Amino acid sequence: MSTSLVFGVLTARLILGTVGVEHYTLYALLVAFPALLSFTDLGAGAVVVNSVAASDDPRTDPLVLAQVTSVGRILVGFAAVAQLVNTLLLLTGGWTRILGDAGRLDGADLGAFLSLSVFACGVPVGLWVRIMLGLRKNHVVILLQGLISPLNFGLVWLVLNIDDAHFAAQLAMTSFIASFTVGVIGLAVTSRMTSPLVPRTIRRLPRLRQAPGTRVMDVGWPMLAQLLSAPIALGSQRYVLAQFGTAHDVAEYSVAAQVFFALNGLVGAAGVALWPKFARDRERGTIHRGPGLLSAVFASGIVVATGLVWLVREPLFGFITNDEVTVSGTTVLAFGAMVTCTAILYPLGMFIMDKPGIRFQVVPALTMAASSLALSIVLTVLLGVEGPPLSSVLAVIVCQIIPFAIYIRRHRDRLYSTAA
């Protein structure tokens, strides 16, 4: 995650110093699109994580093979639909409207189309991450995904040195190309570690009748509701600013996000690693302690990190932006509060990722997403850049942290159950 932070900062500095705030705003809006589409497997990936984690030999387990095949087909279908919508947005001028002021730059709509086309190609490749999480190889996922940011920086540098005038609007493609490249590497590594699971899955994908899958959406539908909540609440924030704020607001938000989303990614990586651990420990009957202490540890780390960023905010963000964009102290604190709430939430959520727990999380997650989006619009008009992060803070505390804590306490007997 430190690699992502460093190279993310260098990339922002390079773009701002070469083509300016307007093109950086366009770049920031486009690279945020994967966060809006984080539900590519429609939630069914949770089945793969749980089944791989519980299987004694996922390489040859027929149930795991059938479930991975089903999820792979969902990913292929999602990619096809995403590309269709992407094409319609290009042909109808939808991209220009979605991107706000940044959409009026020359070539912005084509840049969006090409970027999302690369993204669609990479959606099926993302199957490797679900398998690795189930294998409790989250460190491998982190190491490989850590290559994306330096590779992206190298591609941005190359494009800007070839011809910054002609390709400035297509800069975001570099991020998607880097992600796709690392995804292919990740799939190859996963294939080698789980052979013959991945090759057999790929061969089975087009053979719908000869190689049927299995039921995965019993968990997928409730999980999909949770996956939708993140893009609605968090991924939409830049687009709310693009519609109700200014280009400078989007730039300031994006620069602060460069630092705090790296911290958020660190929290997410550590938090997701708890999922297969809790699943396996519950299967074996070895859970003896709740997630409260972990939530406190996660949150304390983010509070300390936020304090450090606040202390050095002027030289730090001045360096990142070549003094083109000012990030206020209140923006830093708003982002810090948002990531702190995420840090508290992750251990709680991962602790209740069994089937009943996943179903319970649906209503809190959707309520959080809807209230966060509504609040972000209101608070953006009232406060500006600080509005979207603060809306997330309020929504997560009221709609998720408090209900999750109550649920864990009420269902202690099931969640702390011991093996028979």
Render pLDDT for 255-275 as a digit per residue (tens, 0 to 9): 898 889 888 888 888 888 887
Residue 180's domain spans which residues? 1-215
> For residue 20, what are its two tokens?
């300016």
- The residue written with tokens 């669609």 in the block is 120
What is the average per-residue pLDDT within 373-385?
92
Specify the DSSP element, H or E, that contains 273.
helix 247-284
Cβ–Cβ under 8 Å, residues 49 and 133: yes
Tell me, yes or no, whether 253 and 397 share the same domain: yes
Tell me, yes or no, whether 303 and 409 share the same domain: yes
Phi, psi (rounded to 5 degrees) for 122: -85, -10
Higher pLDDT, 166 or 300: 300
Report residue 419's pLDDT band, with 50, 70 and 90 as the boundaries.
Answer: very low
Q: Which of 74, 380, 344 lies closest to 224 in space, CA to CA? A: 74
> What was the pLDDT predicted at 246?
80
> For residue 13, what are its two tokens?
């500095």
3-state secondary structure of 256: helix
Higher pLDDT, 39 or 217: 39
Tell me, yes or no, whether 379 and 241 share the same domain: yes
Counting residues of the chain whose pLDDT is more than 70, the rounded percentage is: 94
Whether 418 has a pLDDT exceeding 60, the answer reads no
> What was the pLDDT predicted at 342?
93
What is the average per-residue pLDDT within 342-371?
89
Whether 230 has a pLDDT exceeding 80, the answer reads no
Count the helix, strand and coil residues of the chain and give each as a percent rounded to the nearest 5.
85, 0, 15
Q: Which of 74, 56, 76, 65 lies closest to 195 in space, CA to CA? A: 65
The total domain count for the chain is 2
Angle between helices 127-134 and 197-204 (to 10 degrees): 140
> What was the pLDDT predicted at 160?
87
Write the CB contacts of 231 (distance below 8 Å, at least 6 apart in sequence). Answer: 35, 36, 37, 38, 39
User: CA-CA distance, 380 to 323, in Å (whole number)?
Assistant: 24
> What was the pLDDT predicted at 286?
75
> What was the pLDDT predicted at 355?
78
Cβ–Cβ under 8 Å, residues 241 and 96: no
What is the average per-residue pLDDT within 236-250?
84
Whether 375 has a pLDDT exceeding 90, the answer reads yes
> For residue 201, what are its two tokens?
């899955």
- pTM, two decimal places: 0.73
What is the average per-residue pLDDT within 182-198?
92
Tell me, yes or no, whether 195 and 250 share the same domain: no
Tell me, yes or no, whether 207 and 292 share the same domain: no
> What was the pLDDT predicted at 155?
92
Tell me, yes or no, whether 193 and 244 share the same domain: no
> What was the pLDDT predicted at 337?
96
Tell me, yes or no, whether 54 and 180 share the same domain: yes
- The residue written with tokens 């911290």 in the block is 263
Q: Which of 231, 255, 95, 114 lies closest to 177 in space, CA to CA? A: 114
Higher pLDDT, 282 or 405: 405
Report residue 420's pLDDT band, with 50, 70 and 90 as the boundaries.
Answer: very low
Report the mean per-residue pLDDT for the chain.
86
> What was the pLDDT predicted at 223?
67
Tell me, yes or no, whether 130 and 233 share the same domain: no
> What was the pLDDT predicted at 332?
96
Choose the most confident range, by mean pLDDT, from 138-152, 327-341, 346-360: 327-341
Tell me, yes or no, whether 159 and 40 share the same domain: yes
Q: Which of 170, 149, 80 lies closest to 121 in space, CA to CA? A: 80
Residue ending a domain, choose from 215, 241, 272: 215
User: CA-CA distance, 51 to 64, in Å (whole number)?
Assistant: 6
Residues 152-174: tens digit of each pLDDT: 999 999 988 876 556 667 888 99
Higher pLDDT, 105 or 178: 178
Tell me, yes or no, whether 159 and 228 share the same domain: no
Choose the most confident range, by mean pLDDT, from 243-247, 368-372, 390-394: 390-394
> For residue 344, what are its two tokens?
């508290």
What is the average per-residue pLDDT within 340-365?
89
Residue ending a domain, choose from 215, 249, 280: 215
Tell me, yes or no, whether 221 and 210 share the same domain: no
User: CA-CA distance, 401 to 172, in Å (whole number)?
Assistant: 35
Tell me, yes or no, whether 255 and 307 share the same domain: yes
Write the CB contacts of 115 (distance below 8 Å, at least 6 apart in sequence). Answer: 30, 31, 33, 170, 172, 173, 175, 176
Q: For residue 63, what is the DSSP state? A: H
Residue ending a domain, choose from 215, 250, 279: 215
Write the CB contacts of 139 (distance below 8 Å, at least 6 apart in sequence). Answer: none
